[in-house]
């Protein structure tokens, strides 16, 4: 039995399963372009004769592109709609991942990597809108599927890229195979559209909300700034690990496949983290304590890599994986430390966009420090400092109170501009919003 809910799309058991499969496939497409590169970074370096700054730039691209496209994703959604936005996401990822392995120069490889990352970053912002509108009565199911699928999309490329490369004796096959995931997502998304089961955001259920009162810019909230720093620092950890961790293990003398497996262990933490970390924040279960433990765990993991990388390599990977629980916790803080929907949207745009700017600097800095020092000691001390600061900012971000309270205390002052205020036009199209 099917029904026609408020956004003009058909629902029913079969269609809902197809919609969930589509969500999983698209979410799984939002990480492989980044997490598949680390296990074959040495081969890519050799193929294009890269120097350290070029390799560092490749590992910094995810954070940089995510920061830039965080500002344009919502205007794209408002301009071309939900269906076309996610078509764009899938096409950009598939073309970027598939075509970058066919070029013979570094500029082309980097440029097509940017294409894939642009699709990923737009999907990062827009896919939660699909979750809200397509699963309004099963928000927990949709949110969990989204978060866990992000973890799977990071884990499987980290685990399988090196074995696939070894099997075919060709790193281009190991990287290019991941274009199949967004291609399958695109086919499923089109089928869902043909079945008239894609929400139409041009037909909001209600648009009777009163005009929002003037608000100060989100930047004036100290909590929002701490959240942005926490988000950025945990992203530095994540993208340094995606780009450099297998190489750190390989330079210590570990087999390439085992080095890739260590990154898999780290990314595997995204699955339990996707379940547990949001509960810690949303249910207020000692959030500051747990955020500090994520930081301490990451510090210990980096110390292990610095002092005895080959003694118990899996232990250091496990510690870094637990430190990675900070990512879903950072996303949950955006919701848990805001009340009004418009403040949530503005805070999300500010935290993610500014946080990814910081994330872009980290891997580039690691590459530069590696080139200057000629070894991993200085870069790893740098990451120890990053992990420690992550704990400090996480503790401050998780203190009681909300961004809304801080903005009200500061008093009204002419609304926000740019991306931070650019989501208001979508409010009528989000379920449950008045």
The per-residue pLDDT for range 245-258, each reduced to its tens digit, is 888 998 888 888 88
> In angstroms, rounded to a whole number, what is the distance separating the alpha carbons of residues 385 and 362?
12
402 touches 223 (CB < 8 A)? yes
Q: Indicate the burial class of 434 (C-beta count within 10 angstroms; 0-12, 13-18, 19 or more).
A: exposed
> In angstroms, rounded to a whole number, what is the distance separating the alpha carbons of residues 112 and 119?
11
366 touches 48 (CB < 8 A)? no
The average pLDDT across 92-107 equals 93
121 touches 65 (CB < 8 A)? yes
Farthest-apart Cα atoms in the chain, separation? 65
Residue 105 has pLDDT above 80, yes or no: yes
SS3 label, residue 181 = helix
Residue 360 or residue 399, greater confidence: 399
CATH 1.20.1250.20 domain position(s) in the chain:
14-196, 215-411
Q: What is the pLDDT of residue 130?
A: 80
Tell me the β-bridge partners of 3: 11
Q: What is the pLDDT of residue 71?
A: 74
SS3 label, residue 398 = coil
Q: What is the pLDDT of residue 203?
A: 52
Residue 338 has pLDDT above 60, yes or no: yes
Q: What is the pLDDT of residue 207?
A: 43
SS3 label, residue 106 = helix
Residue 295 has pLDDT above 90, yes or no: yes
Q: What is the pLDDT of residue 344?
A: 67
User: The pTM is what?
Assistant: 0.72
DSSP letters for 109-157: HHHHHHHHHHHHHHHHHHHHHHHHHH-TT-HHHHHHHHHHHHHHHHHHH
- With a pLDDT cut of 70, the percent of the chain lying above it is 84
The per-residue pLDDT for range 108-126, each reduced to its tens digit, is 999 999 999 999 988 887 7
> In angstroms, rounded to a whole number, what is the distance separating the alpha carbons of residues 185 and 128?
16
For 86, residues 6+ apart whose C-beta sits below 8 A from its C-beta are 26, 123, 126, 127, 130, 189
Start-to-end CA distance of the chain, whole Å, equals 30
CATH class of segment(s) 215-411: mainly alpha
> In angstroms, rounded to a whole number, what is the distance separating the alpha carbons of residues 32 and 93?
9
Tell me the β-bridge partners of 11: 3
- CA-based radius of gyration for the chain: 21
The per-residue pLDDT for range 43-93, each reduced to its tens digit, is 888 888 887 778 777 877 877 788 788 778 778 887 888 889 899 999 999
For 383, residues 6+ apart whose C-beta sits below 8 A from its C-beta are 236, 237, 240, 302, 366
In this prediction, residue 4 has a pLDDT band, given cuts at 50, 70 and 90, of: low
DSSP letters for 305-349: HHH-TTTSHHHHHHHHHHHTTHHHHHHHHHHHT--SHHHHHHHHH
DSSP letters for 45-88: HHHHT--HHHHHHHHHHHHHHHHHHHTTHHHHHHHHHHHHHHHH
- Domain range 14-196, its CATH number among 1.25.40.10, 1.20.1250.20, 3.50.50.60, 2.60.40.10: 1.20.1250.20
The average pLDDT across 370-395 equals 92
CA nearest to 364, candidates 110, 92, 69, 31? 110
- With a pLDDT cut of 90, the percent of the chain lying above it is 29
Residue 152 has pLDDT above 90, yes or no: no
Q: What is the pLDDT of residue 430?
A: 39
Residue 320 has pLDDT above 90, yes or no: yes
263 touches 318 (CB < 8 A)? no
> In angstroms, rounded to a whole number, what is the distance separating the alpha carbons of residues 389 and 395?
10
The average pLDDT across 302-314 equals 91
The average pLDDT across 254-265 equals 84
331 touches 278 (CB < 8 A)? yes
Residue 416 has pLDDT above 50, yes or no: no
């Amino acid at each position: 039995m099917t029904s026609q809910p408020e956004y003009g799309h058909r629902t029913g058991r079969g269609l809902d399963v197809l919609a969930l499969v589509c969500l999983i496939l698209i979410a799984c497409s939002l990480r492989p372009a980044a997490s598949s590169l680390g296990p074959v970074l040495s081969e890519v370096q050799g193929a294009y004769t890269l120097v350290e700054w070029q390799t560092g730039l490749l590992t910094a691209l995810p954070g940089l592109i995510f920061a830039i496209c965080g500002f344009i994703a919502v205007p794209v959604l408002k301009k071309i709609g939900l269906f076309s936005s996610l078509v764009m996401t899938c096409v950009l990822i598939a073309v970027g991942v598939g075509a970058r392995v066919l070029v013979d120069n570094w500029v082309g490889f980097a440029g097509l990597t940017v294409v894939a990352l642009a699709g990923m970053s737009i999907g990062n912002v827009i896919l939660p809108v699909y979750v809200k509108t397509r699963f309004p009565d099963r928000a927990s199911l949709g949110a969990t599927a989204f978060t866990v699928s992000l973890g799977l999309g990071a884990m499987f490329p980290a685990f399988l890229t090196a074995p696939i490369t070894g099997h075919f004796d060709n790193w281009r096959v190991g990287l290019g195979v991941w274009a199949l995931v967004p291609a399958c997502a695109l086919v499923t998304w089109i089928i869902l559209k043909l079945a008239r089961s894609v929400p139409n955001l041009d037909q909001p259920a209600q648009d009777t909300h009163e005009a929002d009162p003037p608000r100060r810019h989100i930047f004036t909230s100290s909590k929002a700034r701490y959240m942005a720093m926490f988000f950025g620092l945990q992203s530095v950890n994540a993208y340094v690990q995606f780009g450099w961790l297998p190489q750190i293990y390989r330079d210590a003398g570990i087999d390439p496949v085992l080095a890739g497996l260590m990154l898999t262990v780290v990314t595997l933490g995204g699955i339990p983290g996707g379940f547990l970390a949001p509960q810690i924040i949303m249910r207020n279960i000692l959030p500051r304590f747990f955020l500090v433990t994520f930081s301490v765990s990451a510090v210990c993991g980096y110390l292990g890599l610095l002092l005895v990388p080959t003694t118990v390599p899996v232990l250091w990977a496990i510690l870094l994986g637990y430190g990675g629980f900070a990512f879903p916790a950072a996303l949950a803080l955006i919701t848990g430390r805001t009340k009004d929907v418009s403040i949530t949207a503005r805070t999300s745009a500010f935290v993610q966009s500014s946080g990814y700017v910081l994330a872009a600097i980290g891997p580039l800095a690691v590459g530069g420090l590696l080139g200057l020092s000629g070894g991993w000691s200085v870069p790893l001390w740098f990451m120890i400092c990053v992990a420690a600061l992550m704990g400090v900012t996480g503790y401050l971000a998780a203190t009681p109170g909300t961004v809304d309270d801080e903005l009200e205390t500061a008093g009204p002052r002419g609304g926000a501009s740019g991306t931070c205020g650019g989501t208001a036009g979508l409010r009528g199209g989000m379920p449950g919003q008045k």
